[in-house]
């Protein structure tokens, strides 16, 4: 218990992705957390999610207490998720080690985690009609920025996250051949403003 290791699960502030909360409190996942040395499980269940979270907690009570994990949840935080991302990164407490973030595929949350450089498992919500979130998760997983997982294989994803940790890439990406025009936002703004210097 000397080295706290946090797994932070977020379903976003407004989205109702209760199945991710359910999966994160399931017995196989909790034991996988235990196997990988996690000490804390922190969940953001979003607006109106408290009832559901409490229900899941009641069901999982026996498993939670036997796993020795500290499980806690919150609805939303207006100050943003930065604080929780840093806790998962291992910057919260003294002697803490780096954990993992598990997130719905919202681009804002993904970006937050990438900029914090904490290993990230992205679980797109399959119930959403618009599947562009899946495309983002796939594209980022192909470039090895994140682990792309479905609800069923979260324990496996936790294993993959340990691999990802070893070769965590920095964000924003270093400009390379792919980014052929590196003038950036400033360059475009200057051109449109008519700044000639």
Partner 1 sequence: MGFFTTLLVILPLLIIPAAFYRFLLISDPKRNKPIRHGRRNPAEPTHLLVVLGSGGHTAEMLAMLERAVSAKDASLKLDWKDYTHRTWVVGSGDSISAQRAKDFEDMVIPLSTPEDLMVGKVKRATYNGIGTYDVVTVPRAREIHQSLTTTPMSSFTCMRACYDLLTRYTTETRDGHASGPGQKDFPDVILCNGPATATILVATSMLLRFFDVKGCSTRGKLRTIYVESWARVKKPSLSGKLLSRVVDRFLVQWPQLERSTGGRAEFMGVLV
Query: Which of the stretches 26-34, 91-99, 161-169, 173-181 binds partner 1 when contact is defined by CB under 8 A?
Result: 173-181
Prior bond to 80 cis, omega within 30?
no
Instruction: Count other Cβ atoms within 10 Å, centred on residue 118.
Output: 25
| Cβ closest to partner 1, residue 112 vs residue 160 | 112
Task: Note whether 100 and 33 are within 8 A (CB).
Answer: no
Using the Cα atoms of residue 145, residue 146, residue 147 and residue 148 in order, give the sign of their dihedral.
Answer: negative
According to the binding rule CB under 8 A, does residue 72 interact with partner 1? Answer: no
Q: Per rule CB under 8 A, is residue 173 in the interface with partner 1?
A: yes
Please, which of residues 124-163 interact with partner 1 by CB under 8 A?
A: 132-133, 135-136, 138-139
- Quick check: 66 binds partner 1 (CB under 8 A)? no
Residue for token pair 């290993």: 119
The smaller minimum CB distance to partner 1, of residues 66 and 107, is found at 107
Task: Give yes or no for residue 14 binding partner 1 (CB under 8 A).
Answer: yes
Q: By CB under 8 A, tell whether 192 contacts partner 1.
A: yes
- Of these, 3, 108, 126, 163, which contacts partner 1 (CB under 8 A)? 108
Q: What is the 3-state secondary structure (H, E, C) of 87-141?
A: HHHCCCCCCCEEEEEEECCCHHHHHHHHHHCCCEEECCCCCCCCCHHHHHHHHHH
Q: How many alpha carbons lie under 13 Å from residue 50 in its C-beta half-sphere? A: 5
Among 25, 112, 122, 141, binds partner 1 (CB under 8 A): 112
- Binding residues vs partner 1 (CB under 8 A): 12-14, 78, 105-108, 111-112, 115, 132-133, 135-136, 138-139, 172-173, 175, 178-189, 191-197
């Amino acid at each position: 218990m000397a080295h706290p290791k946090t797994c932070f699960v977020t379903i976003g502030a407004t989205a109702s992705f209760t199945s991710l909360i359910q999966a994160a409190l399931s017995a196989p996942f909790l034991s996988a957390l235990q196997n990988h040395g996690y000490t804390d499980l922190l969940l953001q269940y979003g607006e109106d999610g408290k009832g559901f979270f409490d229900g899941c907690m009641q069901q999982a009570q026996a498993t939670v207490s036997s796993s020795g994990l500290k499980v806690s949840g919150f609805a939303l935080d207006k100050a943003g998720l930065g604080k929780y991302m840093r806790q998962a990164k291992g910057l919260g407490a003294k002697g803490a080690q780096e954990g993992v973030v598990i997130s719905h595929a919202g681009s804002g949350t993904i970006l937050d985690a990438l900029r914090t450089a904490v290993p990230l498992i992205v679980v797109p919500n399959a119930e959403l009609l618009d599947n562009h979130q899946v495309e983002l998760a796939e594209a980022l997983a192909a470039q090895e920025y994140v682990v792309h997982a479905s609800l069923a294989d979260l324990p496996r994803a936790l294993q993959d996250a340990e691999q990802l940790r070893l070769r965590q890439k920095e964000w924003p990406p270093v400009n390379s051949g792919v980014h052929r025009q590196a003038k950036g936002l400033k360059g475009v703004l200057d051109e449109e403003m008519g700044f000639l210097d």
